[in-house]
Amino acid sequence: MTTNPITPNTSKLTIFYPTQDDFAPENTAPTQPESTQPQSAHTQVSATDDTIDAQPMTHDPTTPAATPDALPSQTPNLARTKEPSPNNNAPLHQEHAAPNQLAGPTQTHNALQTNTASVPQEALLDVPTAPPAQAPSPIGTALAQTVSTIALKPTPIPTPAPAEPLPPLEGGAMGVLDELLRHRPRLLRRLLEGDSLPQIARAAMVTIVITMAVMGASMGFYRGGLQILYAAIKLPLVMLLTAAITAPVYSAIKTALQHKASVMADFALILSALALTCLVTVALAPVLLLGVFQQTPYHKLILLLVGLFGLGGAAGYVFFFKGINQQLVRGHRLICVTLLVAMGLVGSQMAWLTRPYLVRPASQEVPMMRAFEGSFMDAVLQSTRSARGIYKSDVRPGLKLRGKP
Amino acid sequence: MSAAAALHPTPQIALKWRDLAIALAGPAAVGACIGWSAGAGALLQMSIMLPLSFVGVTLATLPALYVGVALAGQAPNVQTMLKIASAAQRDLGLILLGLAPALLFMCATATDVHEALVFGTLGVVLGSMVGARAFYTRFRQTIPQWQALGIFALWALLTGGLGWEIYLNILRTGGQLL
């Protein structure tokens, strides 16, 4: 029996590939004497490199299966021997091995023996117990690479399509008006990105002045004469001064909530919202004129005016709210409520101070502005008391009035 | 960087004298607006006592917030907490400075002191609410755990109640507006 010394190197492995004979139910007798058996094409495969050192070895099928501990999963079913192999149930093919065994160093190897060459048991037993350095099969290597590929390369998240570039703002003020009426999302995007802010602000101011002048003239038409001119002058001032006083509130709150505040952008947003308010209100001016021509009573006309301005204000506020939502990440509801309160109070007080607009029918004179008396809130409270039948006949004790001791 | 991300810069919480000036100037401006209609004396007293009350209430209740967050196991170090509080005071001052023009207009055109007081108090309450929101933003940036939210809410209620009582006392004794 020829024996080939097995290199006492823990990195050397002996790989056996099953043959047809391995699957025979019983194969007790050696097919050939060891000495006459052809040398098997065993190769000694290094666990660390890809070179193959082909060293003929002989395999004794009669010897007990003493498979090296290095290849528990690769040990072929040594049912060809009489003695059952400790790894009799071990998988024959690398594909059934655990994945971590598949991830071993790649090794090239050849299909080994094709016949059962005998290997002396002593030689097998001399194989040192090396740590299991797996030698994956080609199929196993491919499977491992596929698994690792699947594991390491996640499914790409679909990125949103880049936003289309904004078209240039053409047509000057009319272009801004067109976008304000027909393409409000595009205008909001311009305000967010800071595109053409001075142009938008100028166009909004011009819109406010012209539309409120028309609306004021419509209101003054109730009395006629100089009141048409007075109301056409006062109403734009009310809108612009309200915007000027309440714009710092928005910028200050934005800065306090750690948003980047641009005075120009904030003012442009407020002016744009007011411009939309004025456009909607002036579009409803024919309703007011119809009421005037129908000789609607004074107080009902006042209520009609409140309704028309309320509708315009709602449209402008929705636009403003959308602009705030676009610009802010946090606290936008609180900012909207605060600005609604601030603009409502300031605007109503400003309008009260610059009254009259319709002029009561009993008034003899048509003043530019009435004397400074009372306030909007005071007028609301007084009207509430009057509606309940409580009329103010004298001054309340302790009440401090402006200009009086 | 997206346009929305560009609008949200990294918060700066370094304490500067400018921040302290803003923290005091905002309440002083609002106090001046409230005391405007009651005469020069009330104007001066309100413009001094309102900033002191804001700072004093915050300093008095801040340890309670820190202890509560520390007991919940989520407190940063003391210096960080102080920086957050000072930055929040700066934010509150900025908010009140922004409200000052509108408040001045409303209080100056009010018919009597009580009407001006109503507008001024409304401005203080709104400004305090927004200031609390700003403080909460900085608080969550440093202590992102959701358990701190309950502690902060309790602290905000306590501070709001204490601040309201002190504000009424200032109106009665300092500004003689009530």
Q: Where are the alpha helices (DSSP H) in A104-182?
A: 121-126, 138-152, 172-182
B99 → chain A, closest CA residue: A249
**pLDDT at site A392:** 64
Query: How many angstroms away from the CA of B71 is the closest CA of chain A?
Result: 28
Q: Which of B115, B130, B133 sits opposite A377 (nearest CB)?
A: B115
**pLDDT at site A28:** 46
Q: Which of B8, B95, B112 sits opposite A252 (nearest CB)?
A: B95
A326 contacts B4? CB cut-off 8 A: yes
pLDDT tens for residues A348-378? 889 888 887 877 777 777 777 776 667 777 7
Higher pLDDT, A365 or B104: B104
Could you tell me what percentage of chain B is helix, strand and coil, using 3-state DSSP and rounding each to the nearest 5?
85, 0, 15
**pLDDT at site A96:** 41
Query: How many angstroms away from the CA of A268 is the closest CA of chain B?
Result: 16
Among residues of chain B, what percentage have pLDDT more than 90? 38
Residues on chain A touching B138 (C-beta within 8 angstroms)? 258
Q: What is the 3-state secondary structure (H, E, C) of A67-125?
A: CCCCCCCCCCCHHHCCCCCCCCCCCCCHHHCCHHHHCCCCCCCCCCCCCCCCCCHHHHH
Nearest to A227 by CA among A235, A219, A238: A219
Inform me whether the pLDDT recorded for A389 exceeds 80.
no
**pLDDT at site A70:** 40
Query: How many angstroms away from the CA of A288 is the closest CA of chain B?
Result: 30
Chain A / chain B CB contacts < 8 angstroms: 110
pTM of the model: 0.63
Q: Which of B95, B109, B118 sits opposite A253 (nearest CB)?
A: B95
B126 contacts A341? CB cut-off 8 A: yes
Average pLDDT (B128-143) is 87
**pLDDT at site B59:** 87
**pLDDT at site B172:** 85
pLDDT tens for residues B115-129? 889 999 999 999 999
**pLDDT at site A165:** 78
B91 contacts A399? CB cut-off 8 A: no
Inform me whether the pLDDT recorded for B3 exceeds 60.
no
B75 pLDDT tier (thresholds 50, 70, 90) = confident
Chain B interface test: which of A186, A270, A327, A338 (most B C-beta within 10 Å): A338
| Mean pLDDT over each residue of chain B, to the nearest integer | 85
| Range from A46-60, A253-267, A386-400 carrying the lowest mean pLDDT | A46-60
CA distance B96 to B77: 29
Higher pLDDT, B39 or A273: A273
| Range from A109-118, A182-191, A194-203 carrying the lowest mean pLDDT | A109-118
Average pLDDT (A378-404) is 62
Tokens coding A273:
């919202």
CB A241 within 8 A of CB A214: no
Inform me whether the pLDDT recorded for A385 exceeds 90.
no
pLDDT tens for residues A206-255? 999 999 999 999 998 888 888 889 999 999 999 999 999 999 999 998 88
**pLDDT at site A97:** 40
Residues whose CB falls within 8 Å of the CB of residue B69, separated by 6 or more in sequence, listed in order: B75, B143, B148, B151
Highest mean pLDDT among A101-110, A140-149, B29-38, B144-153: B29-38
CB A64 within 8 A of CB A6: no
Residues on chain A touching B115 (C-beta within 8 angstroms)? 375, 377-378
Residue B3 at interface with chain A, using a CB cutoff of 8 Å: yes
Residues on chain B touching A353 (C-beta within 8 angstroms)? 109
Inform me whether the pLDDT recorded for A88 exceeds 60.
no
Residues on chain A touching B110 (C-beta within 8 angstroms)? 375
A258 contacts B137? CB cut-off 8 A: yes
The complex's ipTM? 0.76
Cβ neighbours around B10 below 10 Å, total: 7
B98 contacts A251? CB cut-off 8 A: yes
Higher pLDDT, A82 or B52: B52
B106 contacts A349? CB cut-off 8 A: yes
For β-strands A52-54 and A12-14, DSSP reports them as unpaired
